[in-house]
């Protein structure tokens, strides 16, 4: 549907906004007239799908499906200052929004046309988002919180921390070292042994294999609880501590068994196991809540006895009886105690589906001195099954209920674990699994695992992962996160890569990776000689009064295992306008600070976007590569062809200008598109010739059978501007390249 939004606060578009659903086919002016809006009381900007529309055109624009129309009140100021600010912000709409809106919409998870348009308007006027064209910033605040509100994460959602049966949710995948509150792998159940209650819980730690550092109840190590016995089941293993496939009939909930003489009758029948299941063991929990006694005149307790009978009958999947009742047991219990008596009675049966009933067979003593109530507390069936949990690590626990272990604390089981992954070597291939916090091998697992993309090695740039892993280990960058909600493989891969300041991308069917790091050698040179005429464009993302001047990074602190945050700002920043981002997978404060400084530097120093079209040499660079751009419009060096070469003299197709007192350099493009140099040169008597101070590493081509060698000339490092490639798109016979001008300060801010 189309949507109209009237924003009353241009700096916080999500506040003070009125939303309307217009009729399709109306014009903007028609909708305003219908609501009696002849003119807005304050200067107001109209955006249609993120593009400004003048008032004179409001009667011409017809509202179409999925169109979003935004009316945004411009900031007001006193005197002439207000007019200047409005002008600056209007320019920002024209320059910043088309670049940043769609990119940030993807980062925020916004995919609809309406959402993207609103985000575009928000960037243009609010200026509250971070700018980084190469590696998109992480999600804004609350990325650590749960993605699926209907089934909150037991690890990241503090309100829901604890063990849960999250039906329909994915089996968690843990990477690195992390605390986990494991989901139930089977329905917990209880039994009584010698009047003690035992709770049986099966927990799923996660997919794959783990090094289990600690098992805890809340914050206390499990070694402090003598009443707990546990076992860890490795992938494809079996549980030996207890039967895992036990179902409890919900209809049985403490009904009192009475004899016919007391007006009682058979309780039931209750179906013990679901349709299309079979059981060969039925168990009943019988409780005497008051104990079993008779208080005599001397104050001591005499014996009392209760007897009861349990019967079962085979039924089919429709609940129709298949035979007559059989007696499972005729039980008798005698005691003289006023303490509650609790026992579980188990009855082997032939495999099948059953219904069960029970009755008391002796009369109840209703004297006030007597305690002989008999309650049927639970009915359970142990199902016949072949356990196969697959490639999953399990934790089985048998807990005895005591004052030390309450019902609530029994649901606060958590583990500190480190994932074991295979590591690839270019000579030895994949290793056996080992505990690791590596970003590289977490990404490889996402791409290779059956719960991930299930790709072959040939589809993954493993050599790049080896190189990146070396860098990340040296820096101490790790990924420690739990994926326990539904998401796409690409989303998970991007989040892991972002923890290492990297991004994945597809190229020729191969998943490749690029990290934003210092680069000094351009892979290609572009100048007016190979840039299509009139295609060169520079966009300046203008900062405003509300532009973020620092970054608050939310992370999950590995010391407290609770959300934490740190604010990073550049040395000369006031840190008065922080942008908040959540770095999922980061659990180290120093790591969070480094990434915060990097994002703050990228936000400040990368605000020039360069787009142009070229021919097939545009396919030489790839995403993230460093290219050199020379162009006379912004005075980025002087460019042309090499006409003749006789060492040490280069004859050029264009005159070049030397300035006294400065060192001048020339860079040459080789046949494969790469750059030779830059080489220091001196002037000659001719303005179209330069003298090389050193012998160059190739022979320039100066003939006419192919393109002559291109050159770029300038003072010092100004022979060209260096930029990082952000997009390469085929456009018919041409290639369109989008890039962001590089600044070395981006990479020195976090050192």
Local confidence band at 72 (pLDDT 50, 70, 90 cut-offs)? confident
Tokens of 331: 């039980």
> According to the model, what pLDDT value does residue 412 have?
83
Strand 626-629 to strand 524-526: parallel, antiparallel, or no bridges (unpaired)?
parallel
Task: Output DSSP code: residue 411.
Answer: G
Q: Is there a domain that residue 660 lies in?
A: yes
Same domain, 261 and 236: no
> According to the model, what pLDDT value does residue 145 have?
44
> According to the model, what pLDDT value does residue 148 have?
45
Lowest mean pLDDT among 25-39, 151-165, 342-356, 526-540: 151-165
Q: Is there a domain that residue 582 lies in?
A: no
Domain boundary among 333, 367, 383: 383
Query: Between these two residues, 489 and 2, which has the higher pLDDT value?
Result: 489
- For residue 320, the domain's CATH number is 2.60.120
The share of the chain scoring above pLDDT 90, in percent, equals 47
Cβ neighbors of 40 (< 8 A, separation 6 or more) are: 71, 73
Residue 103 has pLDDT above 50, yes or no: no
> According to the model, what pLDDT value does residue 677 have?
87
Same domain, 180 and 257: no
Same domain, 275 and 356: yes
If you average pLDDT over residues 316-329, what whole number do you get? 94
Residue 238 has pLDDT above 70, yes or no: yes
> According to the model, what pLDDT value does residue 402 have?
77
Same domain, 225 and 254: no
If you average pLDDT over residues 456-475, what whole number do you get? 93
Residue 198 has pLDDT above 70, yes or no: yes
Same domain, 238 and 257: no
φ, ψ dihedrals at 319, nearest 5°: 85, 10
Are residues 264 and 358 in contact, defined by beta-carbon separation less than 8 angstroms? no
Most confidently modeled of 82-96, 118-132, 133-147, 732-746?
732-746
Query: Between these two residues, 495 and 107, which has the higher pLDDT value?
Result: 495
How far apart, in Å, are the Cα atoms of 49 and each of 70, 118, 398? 8, 8, 59
Tokens of 745: 């300060």
For residue 338, give its domain range. Answer: 247-383
Are residues 389 and 245 in contact, defined by beta-carbon separation less than 8 angstroms? no
Cβ neighbors of 229 (< 8 A, separation 6 or more) are: 241, 397, 398
Cβ neighbors of 123 (< 8 A, separation 6 or more) are: 96, 97, 100, 101, 104, 129
Q: What order of strands is seen across the sheet that includes strand 524-526?
A: 524-526, 626-629, 721-731, 734-741, 608-614, 537-540
Residue 105 has pLDDT above 60, yes or no: no
> According to the model, what pLDDT value does residue 747 have?
87
Residue 466 has pLDDT above 90, yes or no: yes
Same domain, 657 and 675: yes
Are residues 133 and 606 in contact, defined by beta-carbon separation less than 8 angstroms? yes
Tokens of 598: 């990097």
If you average pLDDT over residues 178-205, what whole number do you get? 90
Query: Between these two residues, 407 and 568, which has the higher pLDDT value?
Result: 568
Lowest mean pLDDT among 94-108, 492-506, 612-626: 94-108
Length of the chain: 751
> According to the model, what pLDDT value does residue 389 have?
86
> According to the model, what pLDDT value does residue 297 have?
84
Q: Is there a domain that residue 658 lies in?
A: yes
Q: Is there a domain that residue 701 lies in?
A: yes
Same domain, 621 and 732: yes
Same domain, 403 and 374: no
Lowest mean pLDDT among 35-49, 471-485, 587-601: 35-49
Residue 220 has pLDDT above 90, yes or no: no
How far apart, in Å, are the Cα atoms of 657 and each of 110, 199, 660, 677? 50, 86, 10, 19
| Nearest partner of 186 among 242, 230, 146, 231, judged by Cα | 242
Strand intervals (E) in 485-523: 502-507, 510-515
Domain boundary among 359, 383, 407: 383
Residue written as token pair 């104990």: 291
Same domain, 118 and 30: yes
Tell me, rounded to whole angstroms, the distance of Cα 131 from its chain centroid: 20
Local confidence band at 464 (pLDDT 50, 70, 90 cut-offs)? very high
CB atoms under 10 Å from CB of 466, counted, come to: 15
Residue 144 has pLDDT above 50, yes or no: no
Q: Is there a domain that residue 467 lies in?
A: no
Residue 403 has pLDDT above 80, yes or no: no
pTM of the predicted model as reported, rounded to 2 decimal places = 0.74
How far apart, in Å, are the Cα atoms of 297 and each of 294, 305, 338, 365, 474? 10, 19, 16, 17, 83
pLDDT in tens, 677-733: 899 999 998 889 999 999 998 999 988 888 899 999 999 888 999 999 988 988 888
Q: What total of structural domains would you count in the chain? A: 4
Same domain, 315 and 190: no
CA distance 694 to 237: 69
pLDDT in tens, 344-400: 999 999 999 999 999 999 999 989 899 999 999 999 999 998 888 889 999 999 988
> According to the model, what pLDDT value does residue 308 have?
95
Domain boundary among 334, 368, 383: 383
CA distance 188 to 78: 67
Q: Is there a domain that residue 276 lies in?
A: yes
> According to the model, what pLDDT value does residue 146 have?
41
CA distance 419 to 580: 29
Same domain, 261 and 235: no
Reply yes or no: is the peptide bond before residue 615 cis, omega within 30 of 0.
no
Cα angle 625, 631, 636; round to 5: 80
Are residues 597 and 749 in contact, defined by beta-carbon separation less than 8 angstroms? yes
Local confidence band at 671 (pLDDT 50, 70, 90 cut-offs)? confident
Return mean pLDDT, the chain: 84
Q: Is there a domain that residue 597 lies in?
A: no
Residue 305 has pLDDT above 70, yes or no: yes
Q: Using DSSP, how many helices (H) and how many strands (E) does the chain show?
A: 8, 47
Local confidence band at 100 (pLDDT 50, 70, 90 cut-offs)? very low
Same domain, 222 and 162: yes
Q: Is there a domain that residue 645 lies in?
A: yes
- For residue 104, the domain's CATH number is 3.10.20.30
Residue 116 has pLDDT above 70, yes or no: no
């Amino acid at each position: 549907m189309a949507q109209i939004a009237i924003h009353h606060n241009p700096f916080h578009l999500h506040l003070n906004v009125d939303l309307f659903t217009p009729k399709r086919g109306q014009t903007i002016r028609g909708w305003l007239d219908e609501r009696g809006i002849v003119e807005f009381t304050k200067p107001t900007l109209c955006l249609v799908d993120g593009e400004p529309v003048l008032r004179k055109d409001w009667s011409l624009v017809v509202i179409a499906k999925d169109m979003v129309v935004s009316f945004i009140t411009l900031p007001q100021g006193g005197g002439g200052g207000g007019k200047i600010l409005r002008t600056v912000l209007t320019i920002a709409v024209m320059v910043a929004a088309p670049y940043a809106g769609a990119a940030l919409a993807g980062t925020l998870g916004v995919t609809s046309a309406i959402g993207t348009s609103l985000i575009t308007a928000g960037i243009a006027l609010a200026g509250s988002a971070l700018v980084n064209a190469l590696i998109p910033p992480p999600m804004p605040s609350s990325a650590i919180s749960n993605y699926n509100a209907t089934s909150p994460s037991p690890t990241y959602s503090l309100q829901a921390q604890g063990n849960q049966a999250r039906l329909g949710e994915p089996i968690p995948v843990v990477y690195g070292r992390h605390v986990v509150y494991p989901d139930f792998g089977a329905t917990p159940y209880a039994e009584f042994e010698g009047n003690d209650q035992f709770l049986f819980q099966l927990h799923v730690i996660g997919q794959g294999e783990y090094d289990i550092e600690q098992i805890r109840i809340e914050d206390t190590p499990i070694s402090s609880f003598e009443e707990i016995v546990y076992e860890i089941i490795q992938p494809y293993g079996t549980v030996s501590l207890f039967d895992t496939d036990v179902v409890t009939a919900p209809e049985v909930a403490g009904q009192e068994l009475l004899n016919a003489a007391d007006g009682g009758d058979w309780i039931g029948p209750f179906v013990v196991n679901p349709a299309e299941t079979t059981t060969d063991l039925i168990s009943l929990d019988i409780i005497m809540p008051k104990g079993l006694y008779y208080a005599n005149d001397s104050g001591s307790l005499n014996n009392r006895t209760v007897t009861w009978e349990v019967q079962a009958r085979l039924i089919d999947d429709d609940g129709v009886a298949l035979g007559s009742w059989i007696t499972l047991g005729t039980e008798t219990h005698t005691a003289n105690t006023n303490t509650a008596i609790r026992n579980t009675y188990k009855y082997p049966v032939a495999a099948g589906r059953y219904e069960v009933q029970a009755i008391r067979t002796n009369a109840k003593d209703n004297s006030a001195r007597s305690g002989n109530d008999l309650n049927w507390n639970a009915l359970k069936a142990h199902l016949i099954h072949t356990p196969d949990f697959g490639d999953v690590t399990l934790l089985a626990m048998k807990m005895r209920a005591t004052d030390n272990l309450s019902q609530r604390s029994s649901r606060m089981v958590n583990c500190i674990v480190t994932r074991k992954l295979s590591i690839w070597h270019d000579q030895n291939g994949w290793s056996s699994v080992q505990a690791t916090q590596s970003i590289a091998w977490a990404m490889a697992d996402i791409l290779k695992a059956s719960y991930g993309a299930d790709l072959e090695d040939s589809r993954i740039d493993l050599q790049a992962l080896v190189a990146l892993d070396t860098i990340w280990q040296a820096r101490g960058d790790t990924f420690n996160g739990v994926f326990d909600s539904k998401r796409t493989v690409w989303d998970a891969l991007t989040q892991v890569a972002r923890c290492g300041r990297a991004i994945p991308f597809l190229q020729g069917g191969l998943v490749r990776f690029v990290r934003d790091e210092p680069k000094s050698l351009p892979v290609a040179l572009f100048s007016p000689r190979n840039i299509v005429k009139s295609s060169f464009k520079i966009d300046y993302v203008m900062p405003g009064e509300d532009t973020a001047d620092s970054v608050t990074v939310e992370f999950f602190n590995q010391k407290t295992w609770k959300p934490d945050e740190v604010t990073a700002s550049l040395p000369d920043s006031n840190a008065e306008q922080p942008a908040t981002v959540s770095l999922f997978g980061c659990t180290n404060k120093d790591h969070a600070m480094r990434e915060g400084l990097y994002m703050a530097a990228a936000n400040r120093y990368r605000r020039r976007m360069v787009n142009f079209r070229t021919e097939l040499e545009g396919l030489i660079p790839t995403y993230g590569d460093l290219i050199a751009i020379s162009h006379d419009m912004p005075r980025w060096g002087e460019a042309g062809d090499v006409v003749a070469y006789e060492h040490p003299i280069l004859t050029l197709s264009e005159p070049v200008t030397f300035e006294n007192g400065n060192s001048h350099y020339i860079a040459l493009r080789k046949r494969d598109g790469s750059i030779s140099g830059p080489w220091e040169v001196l002037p000659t008597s001719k303005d179209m010739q330069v003298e090389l101070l050193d012998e160059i590493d190739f022979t320039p081509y100066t003939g006419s059978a192919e393109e002559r060698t291109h050159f770029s000339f300038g003072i010092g490092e100004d022979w060209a501007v260096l930029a990082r490639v952000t997009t390469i798109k085929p456009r018919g016979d041409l290639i369109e390249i989008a890039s962001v001008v590089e600044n070395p300060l981006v990479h020195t801010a976090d050192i």
